[in-house]
Structure 1
């Protein structure tokens, strides 16, 4: 399998800046490039022998048809640590290395182990071949360089593996959506030809209900996939507008007649800090879930917020409904994709809401309130006075 994920160069330069890998440190390594370069073949041999002793990695090495080329690649990689500038070309080279690990199905833990071996090998060279006066500064530069390499390769590894997972979800959604449309259309046509009171019509109604549920599941699976893949862009958002907007959307689809909704939001925390489009979706699904769960005889929802005393940089939002609380088994599975306790549920509403909360650095829990109902507790960051207005993560 060939992993095809473009290197996010701008993001990789951002990581380099955050690690504070300065030009002066690269110059310090360049000063001793000859000391390290002359050990590149020894590094490749030692590296190969080390991983040949581990059963899981030995299996990969024994099935590698280009052992000589592999050692040559490792030798070159080691030399590049001390001779290459961290420009777009070199960052792309490191990114491709991470993708290659996915292609050969190498466990990320062994990649981390490999970088530990690199550090140890470099440490040995520094102790033996670098003047004592420069050893600390050289080792500091090596640590930052190796940290950046590991960060880039881990990023590439995660991007490639998650892309594969998401491609499967997208593929299934696409392949299922078209047949569902055909099935639904044909059932509606057949339904028009039978007596509405006949048992056959009831069968058609059942099939249509399941068809609509599957169509909704495909839509929700696509929403989950899209949210998972997208890079979060943080900004300040009025909490009340997020909630009011979600309620307004739900009035045309999931509204409950004669429902009473109380809203008591803390005026001292009017804003939250997160990903606007994700939080809009999160509140939509959470309020939809509450509307579906309320006591139908006297439907009631209460929405409140308070600044958390334990962590003042967060606000806690509570959405309470007076419906019957889920059982312990249901509570344990509500955030698992495809699980639903409702006949027409897709099993994606709460997983999407949970993902949205996490991407905004928040948290989401459901708790039963004995004898009263169920509360959903959301914890979200609030804007800090000294923070920038928008952050792209």
Structure 2
């Protein structure tokens, strides 16, 4: 099922475009003329969507637009010019985009329909509205149709996102089950075999089954991160980081004798972030540092300081004693499937970078004396507003 629309974000679009009651009053005297032009727009959209949809016309018309596509669009454009631009209006627009995607109509055809409709209505304004009123009326028409396009396109993309998620999640579960069976069988052979060669073969099968299971889990995590809609709030960094290091310390593979060094900025204890996404990001960064660590010299330093180049952000650095391969470009380690570890999946850092992008942050790797440093840039507390948008810096 396609998730519902983000109405506060669409309200923000409406306000930014400048659509208010005053603009609606400009359009109302010309609603009848514009509704008449809506007949041409409706006919065009009907013909366009019939061409663009791979499904039978009768099928999608009956299922999604009340039995007749042309009648639906003519009716929509007849009422568009005097109805309030409220939540119900925004939901309808969003649903129209989702329905077009469900019918297989590409987003480029949805946008083409909006552009052609705009041309019909603007020509009507120029032909029927007194010359001195044309600029104001045409501007209101164009702005309203731009809002329609913005919201419909978001509904269109939301539908495709909702289709991809269950497919990949299903692939993960369907792949994990046989891998679990293969791994269990290899474990039994490993325990029972007397022959050294047989045990070695069973160990290879077990290791690869476990690696593939981790890979499917990581692909599922990356997909979930890419499709997520962050919910921002103030997050205290130190409790989260200490909880994650405790979690990783309880797992196999924690370097013996490792005690992390902490140097977090006490004046900036919080960032503005999505708690779950931030935990995913930092877990992957810490795990990567541990996996690359020099076992003979286990060292880990976790520090934070203001970003000198971007005052709105905090630099969180994770410095470990494990170095980067000398022949590798550090940026290549953020590519999926690219791993320098024999049993690695190549998804840890791509997951971290995807989560950072969602959080208006950034992740980078660099060689530093004694090892490598991963830098995570995160917005400071108060730098993301209630709509999940960056608060502009004061000049």
- TM-score higher than 0.5 here? yes
- Summarize deviations over 1:168-209 as a string: whole Å, max 9, x none: 2111101112112222222223333223x6221222222111
Q: Deviations over 1:250-279 (max 9, x none)?
A: 101231113353322222322111111111
Question: What is the aligned counterpart of 1:5 among 2, 17, 22?
Answer: 2
How many angstroms does 1:286 deviate by? Answer: 0.4
Distance 1:246 1:188, change over 3 A: same
1:339, 1:311 → 2: CA distance? Answer: 30
Residues 1:131 and 1:327: Cα distance change in structure 2 (over 3 Å): farther
Report what 2:393 is aligned to.
none
**Structure 1 residue corresponding to 2:217, chosen from 219, 236, 243:** 219
Q: Secondary structure, in 3 states, of the residue corresponding to 2:260?
A: strand
Q: Provide the residue aligned with 2:128 in structure 1.
A: 129
Instruction: Give CA-to-partner distance per residue, 1:62-90, whole Å, 9 cap, x none.
Output: 99746995554443343232144445554
* 1:235–1:391 Cα contact (<8 Å) kept: no
State the number of aligned residues.
Answer: 380
Offset of residue 238 of structure 1: 1.6
Query: How many angstroms does 1:337 deviate by?
Result: 2.9
Q: Which runs of 5+ in 2 are unaligned?
A: 62-66, 390-395
Q: Which residue of 1 aligns with 2:226?
A: 228
- Partner of 2:206, secondary structure, is helix
CA distance in 2 between partners of 1:328 and 1:76 (Å): 64
Which runs of at least 4 in structure 1 moved beyond 6 Å after TM superposition?
Answer: 46-49, 61-64
Counterpart position of 1:171: 170
Question: TM-score scaled by structure 2?
Answer: 0.83
More displaced, 167-176 or 339-348? 339-348
Aligned equivalents of 1:89 and 1:319: distance in 2? Answer: 47
Report what 1:150 is aligned to.
149
Q: Is the 8 A contact 1:9 1:91 kept in 2?
A: no
Instruction: Output the CA distance in 2 between the equivalents of 1:5 and 1:101.
Output: 13
State the partner residue of 2:24: 26
> What is the DSSP-based 3-state SS (H/G/I as helix, E as strand, rest coil) of the residue aligned with 2:316?
strand
Counterpart in 1 of 2:52?
60
Deviating more after overlay: 28-37 vs 286-295: 28-37
- Note if contact 2:5-2:155 (Cα within 8 Å) is conserved in structure 1: no
Partner of 1:238: 236
Q: Which whole-Å CA distance do the structure 2 matches of 1:240 and 1:62 have between them?
A: 53
User: Match of 2:286, SS?
Assistant: helix
Q: Comparing 24-33 with 235-244, which one deviates more in the overlay?
A: 24-33
For the residues of structure 2 that align with 1:190 and 1:332, how far apart are their CA atoms?
A: 41
Residues 1-393 of structure 1 aligned to structure 2 (within 5 Å): 4-8=1-5, 10-11=7-8, 14-15=11-12, 18-19=15-16, 20-44=18-42, 60=52, 65=57, 70-87=69-86, 89-132=88-131, 134-195=133-194, 198-253=196-251, 254-259=253-258, 261-326=260-325, 331-369=330-368, 372-384=370-382
Give the Cα separation in 2 of the matches to 1:9 and 1:280: 24
Contact 2:319–2:372 (8 Å) recurs in 1? yes
Q: Secondary structure at the match of 2:232?
A: strand
